[in-house]
């Protein structure tokens, strides 16, 4: 049960990290164009 919960947290954390990384990359790309 605990392992399942940890897996969900890790998946959520990974998804959040990926989202933040893509937002940062978009911002960098936009800054570079301007």
| pLDDT digit string, tens, across residues 10-27 | 999 999 999 999 999 988
How far apart CA 26 and CA 4 sit, in angstroms, is 33
Please tell me the predicted confidence (pLDDT) of residue 32: 72
- Please check the confidence at residue 28 and state whether its pLDDT lies above 80: yes
Please tell me the predicted confidence (pLDDT) of residue 29: 83
Please tell me the predicted confidence (pLDDT) of residue 34: 59
Model pTM score: 0.63
Please tell me the predicted confidence (pLDDT) of residue 1: 63
Please tell me the predicted confidence (pLDDT) of residue 31: 78
Structure-token pair, residue 17: 């990290």
Distances (CA, A) of 32 to 10, 24, 27, 29: 32, 12, 9, 5
């Amino acid at each position: 049960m605990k392992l399942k919960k940890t897996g969900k947290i890790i998946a959520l954390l990974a998804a959040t990290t990926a989202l933040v990384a893509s937002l940062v990359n978009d911002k960098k790309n936009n800054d570079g164009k301007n």
